[in-house]
């Protein structure tokens, strides 16, 4: 009986070919994260803000654009659901990209939770001129912030080198500017508007950078060395 020595390479090529659909799906899910960050900026400070005459981006909170009574709410309400879907998909993409790494797996789960928690933000929005809406909105926002901070911490723990340093810098920058904006509330003032946007922007950019870092990482690589 003869043995075909070419069979193992053929099987390896077949396995590689069979993994291509999974790799396409993985990269599409990661791309959803970068897309969610881009759409967030466009939907809020480009589209919704332009519908509110007199709205000052440098002095007013982004949350006001989502508030009941805001002229831009009719645009941002459907966007909230789109953002939820895109960001949750991104979390799933992180999850399936880091098999074998516990810290990054936890980060993926936290990012999924962050994405889904947008639903609570939509259920408990601010209402312009109604202070009774503030406590529940703050509670919903703080839970989401906790998920964000935890995810960034676990990504920093799971990666090495530049991505770890960048995650720590992004977390510190976002947290510090978020606290600065919180102390400047209710505004309007330059510290509030600019501070909040720097805080949000640091996280949105971090999401895009994480997507790129995992996009370039081979699916079979189970250790994060970026």
In a domain, 3, yes or no: no
For the residues 25-49, what does the mean pLDDT come to?
A: 96
Is residue 226 included in any domain, yes or no? no
| 17 assigned to some structural domain | no
**No. of helices (H) and no. of strands (E), the chain:** 8, 0
Residue 161 has φ and ψ, to the nearest 5°, of 70, -135
Per-residue confidence band for 126, with pLDDT thresholds at 50, 70 and 90: confident
Q: Tell me, what's the pLDDT at 218?
A: 59
Total structural domains in the chain? Answer: 1
Report which of residues 34 and 101 the model is more confident about. 34
Identify the pLDDT of residue 47: 95
**pLDDT (tens digit per residue) in 108-125:** 999 999 999 988 888 888
As a whole number, the mean pLDDT across the chain is: 86
Q: Which of 36, 23, 20 is nearest to 210 (CA)?
A: 36
If you ran DSSP here, which 8-state letter would residue 127 be given?
Answer: B
Domain carrying residue 56: 25-215
pLDDT over 80 (residue 24) = yes
> What are 5-15's pLDDT values in tens digits?
444 444 444 34
In a domain, 12, yes or no: no
In a domain, 122, yes or no: yes
Residue 117 is assigned to a structural domain of this protein: yes
* pLDDT confidence of residue 219: 52
> Does residue 15 lie within any of the structural domains?
no
Map 65-126 to HEC letters.
Answer: HHCECCCCHHHHHHHHHHHHHHHHHHHHHHHHHCCCCHHHHHHHHHHHHHHHHHHHHHHCCC
The model scores a pTM over 0.75: yes
Q: Is residue 7 part of a domain?
A: no
Tokens of 117: 């928690």
Q: Is the pLDDT of residue 225 over 90?
A: no
Per-residue pLDDT, 14: 38
- Residue 12 makes CB contacts below 8 A (sequence gap 6+) with none
């Amino acid at each position: 009986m003869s043995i075909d020595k070419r069979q193992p390479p053929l099987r390896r090529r077949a396995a590689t070919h069979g993994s291509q659909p999974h790799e396409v799906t993985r990269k599409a899910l990661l791309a959803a994260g970068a897309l969610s960050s881009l759409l967030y900026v466009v939907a809020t400070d480009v589209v919704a803000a332009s519908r509110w005459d007199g709205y000052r981006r440098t002095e007013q909170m982004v949350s006001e654009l989502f508030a009941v009574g805001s002229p831009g709410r009719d645009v941002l309400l459907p966007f909230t659901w789109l953002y939820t879907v895109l960001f949750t998909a991104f979390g799933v993409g992180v999850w399936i990209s880091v098999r074998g790494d516990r810290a990054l797996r936890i980060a993926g789960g936290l990012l999924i939770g962050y994405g889904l928690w947008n639903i609570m933000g939509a259920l408990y929005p601010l209402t312009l001129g109604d202070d009774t809406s503030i406590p529940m909105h703050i509670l919903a926002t703080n839970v989401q912030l906790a998920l964000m901070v935890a995810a960034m911490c676990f990504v920093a723990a799971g990666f090495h080198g530049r991505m770890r340093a960048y995650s720590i810098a992004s977390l510190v920058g976002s947290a510090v500017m978020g606290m600065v904006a919180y102390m400047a509330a209710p505004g309007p003032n330059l510290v509030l508007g600019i501070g909040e946007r720097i805080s949000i922007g640091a996280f949105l950019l971090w999401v895009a950078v994480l997507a790129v870092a995992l996009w370039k990482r081979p699916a079979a690589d189970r250790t994060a060395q970026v």
